Amino acid sequence: MELPDFMSYANKFSQTEFAEKIARIAKRAGAKLVYAALILYYTLQSDKVSKADKAIIIGALGYMISPLDVIPDAIPIAGLTDDLAVLLYVLKKVWTGIDPEIVEQAKSKLSRWFDEEEIEEIGDIFAPED
């Protein structure tokens, strides 16, 4: 899958819309997408992250929030695959700057929407889906 120009979605990001979208799609999106989004969201709030990394994180989260993307979110199963691809792409780019505490904070937050078994299925965030 070729990634879209997610940076054009940077103006779509807001903290309120991010929280609303995650709450609305969490179960349908799956733990892996929500986990990746939360890691990026919490990383965005860190003062240890460069402005360049924050810019691409904002673009990725804006893409996730936007209802207008390559594969519309309303399409069952496939609708969120492009969102996950963008989030994982950006997560890989900024991974070395992510504090392990942020990863744990994101994992802890997952319990709001997922049970322990679903959270354990995340495993390696970068492993391909089965």
Q: Per-residue confidence of the chain (130 residues) as pLDDT tens digits? A: 556 677 788 888 888 999 888 888 888 888 999 999 999 999 999 999 999 999 999 999 999 888 776 666 656 566 788 888 899 999 999 999 899 999 999 999 998 889 999 888 888 888 776 5
Question: Is residue 7 a part of any domain in this protein?
Answer: no
Question: Is residue 76 a part of any domain in this protein?
Answer: yes
Q: What pLDDT score was predicted for residue 26?
A: 87
Question: Is residue 81 a part of any domain in this protein?
Answer: yes
Question: Is residue 45 a part of any domain in this protein?
Answer: yes
Q: Which domain holds residue 35?
A: 15-122
The CA distance from 89 to 105, in Å, is 20
The CA distance from 58 to 86, in Å, is 11
Question: Is residue 39 a part of any domain in this protein?
Answer: yes
Question: Is residue 53 a part of any domain in this protein?
Answer: yes
Question: Is residue 48 a part of any domain in this protein?
Answer: yes
Rg (CA), the chain: 13
Q: What pLDDT score was predicted for residue 112?
A: 86
Q: What is the pTM of this model?
A: 0.84
- Among candidate residues 84, 104, 7, the one with its CA nearest the CA of residue 53: 7
For the chain, the first-to-last Cα distance in angstroms comes to 17
Q: How many domains are contained in the chain?
A: 1
- Among candidate residues 85, 90, 113, 124, the one with its CA nearest the CA of residue 19: 113
Q: What pLDDT score was predicted for residue 105?
A: 95
Q: What pLDDT score was predicted for residue 126?
A: 80
Question: Is residue 6 a part of any domain in this protein?
Answer: no
Q: What pLDDT score was predicted for residue 2?
A: 59
